Amino acid sequence: MAEVTYYGADWCRDCRRSKALMDSEGVAYEVKDVEHSAELAAEAENIAGRKNIPVIVFKDGEFLVEPSDIDLRDALAKRGLVG
């Protein structure tokens, strides 16, 4: 399992923002595109308890739903994935 798993869709502005942050910080993550898979959409909803995306899951089991850049950066830093 990757350190970070990202559930999102290309049309989602918050998803694009979170991906851009992880890309700019050089964070490796597994992409699960919920737009093209009802199964992945259901998986993300089961994790988050709601339909909002992005859902960003960390290897330790914690997750964020629609995080702000600050919250996402803090969560990545907590795990040593960004400086």
β-strand partners of 6:
31, 56
State residue 4's pLDDT score.
Answer: 97
Per-domain boundaries in the chain: 4-78
- Kindly report the pTM of this predicted structure: 0.94
CA 26/CA 12 separation, integer angstroms:
21
Location of structure tokens 């959409």:
41
Helix axes 69-78, 13-24, angle to 10 degrees: 40
- At 19 the pLDDT is 97
pLDDT at 1: 61
The hierarchical CATH code for the domain 4-78 is 3.40.30.10
pLDDT tens across the length of the chain (83 residues): 689 999 999 999 999 999 999 999 999 999 999 999 999 999 999 999 999 999 999 999 999 999 999 999 999 999 999 97
Residue 22 and residue 47: Cα distance in Å, rounded?
20
